[in-house]
């Protein structure tokens, strides 16, 4: 690693820039224990060398070359140096919430990883050497551009930052969403079956993501691609069908809509009338008259 790319270690835990900062650290004889702390920005931490664990909340993770750790805002964490004699090398990339919101306005693809980490509380991502070398080349290009005085430096830095963030998002998304048609079809069918079997229970993207151990964004995408409806629309239609059948079978309207997940009668009434063109009471009366 080029010596002039290195940054002298600082205990500062706040950003000087309003958008992003990136550092390459190579240290020895640091204090073995850093106090637990949190930021109001995202911290991307890339581990290169050392005998170090990272603690996030109450969980410690031993680190190996190529690990990426993403710490969201307001999540307490610290590095625990196990051997102070060994070199401790890492890249640290800070990016503000405001800049992430700016990228979100461009495309949600820029923030898939940030959202995934906050929802799943899954902070560490292992990379093989080839994959991490690709990440590292983008980091070094950004640092070198920051240290340069070339024409077009400012827009090039922005391009480098956005490219790095998008690359990391794509990497994690593709790991979470393998493009295997059989896997996708199996997930889709299993989600449909789970919905059918649990219409009387809480059904949300978070529940489904937890049940099938995949990102809720992936479930939503796969479902919309296959069904042409959002999961929320599909669940509502299935619940309305179940309610109509129960009402036509003589079921009590109030108990029926409560049983199938409608929080109040007014929302149930509006959805039922929109779907079938008649009220639940009219539906019940039609059956009794026939």
* CA distance readout (Å), 224 to 94, 120, 153, 227: 34, 22, 42, 5
What digits encode the pLDDT tens for the residues 161-186?
Answer: 999 999 999 989 888 876 666 666 77
Under the banding of pLDDT at 50, 70 and 90, the label for residue 155 is very high
Write the CB contacts of 173 (distance below 8 Å, at least 6 apart in sequence). 109, 112, 113, 215, 218
Q: Would you state the pLDDT for residue 286?
A: 81
What digits encode the pLDDT tens for the residues 16-27?
Answer: 889 999 999 988
Residue of 240, 199, 205 lying closest to 222 (CA atoms): 205
pTM given for the model: 0.61
Q: Give the whole-angstrom CA distance, residue 275 versus residue 240.
A: 8
Buried b / exposed e over 210-235, threshold 16 CB at 10 Å, is eebebbbbbbbebbeeeeeeebeebb
Q: Contact at 8 Å (CB) between 99 and 20? A: yes
Residue of 134, 51, 44 lying closest to 92 (CA atoms): 44
Under the banding of pLDDT at 50, 70 and 90, the label for residue 1 is low
Q: Contact at 8 Å (CB) between 2 and 123? A: no
Q: Give the full edge-to-edge strand order of the sheet including 20-27.
A: 20-27, 88-96, 41-49, 68-71, 124-125
What digits encode the pLDDT tens for the residues 26-58?
Answer: 887 766 567 899 999 999 999 999 999 999 999
Under the banding of pLDDT at 50, 70 and 90, the label for residue 99 is very high
Under the banding of pLDDT at 50, 70 and 90, the label for residue 189 is confident
């Amino acid at each position: 690693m080029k010596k002039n790319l290195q940054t002298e270690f600082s205990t500062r835990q706040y950003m000087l820039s309003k958008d992003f900062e990136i550092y390459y650290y190579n240290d020895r004889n640091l204090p073995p224990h850093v106090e637990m702390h949190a930021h109001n920005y995202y911290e991307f931490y890339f581990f290169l060398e050392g005998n170090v664990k990272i603690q996030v909340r109450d969980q410690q993770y031993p680190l190996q070359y190529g690990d990426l750790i993403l710490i969201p805002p307001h999540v307490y964490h610290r590095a625990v140096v196990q051997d102070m004699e060994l070199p401790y090398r890492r890249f640290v990339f800070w990016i503000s919430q405001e800049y992430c919101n700016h990228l979100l306005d461009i495309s949600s693809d820029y923030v898939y990883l940030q959202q995934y980490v906050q929802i799943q509380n899954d902070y560490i991502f292992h990379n093989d050497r080839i994959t991490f070398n690709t990440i590292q080349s983008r980091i070094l290009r950004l640092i070198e551009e920051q240290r340069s005085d070339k024409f077009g430096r400012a827009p090039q830095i922005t391009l480098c930052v956005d490219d790095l963030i998008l690359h990391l998002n794509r990497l994690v998304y593709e790991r979470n969403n393998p493009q295997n048609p059989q896997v996708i079809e199996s997930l889709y069918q299993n989600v449909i079956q789970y919905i059918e079997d649990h219409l009387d229970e809480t059904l949300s993207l978070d529940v489904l993501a937890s049940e099938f151990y995949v990102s809720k964004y992936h479930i939503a995408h796969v479902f919309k691609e296959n069904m042409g409806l959002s999961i929320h629309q599909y669940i509502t239609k299935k619940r309305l069908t179940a309610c109509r059948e129960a009402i036509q079978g003589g079921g009590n309207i109030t108990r029926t809509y409560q049983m199938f997940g409608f929080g109040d009668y007014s929302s149930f009434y509006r959805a039922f009338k929109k779907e079938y063109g008649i009220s639940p009471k009219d539906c019940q009366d039609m059956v009794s008259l026939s």
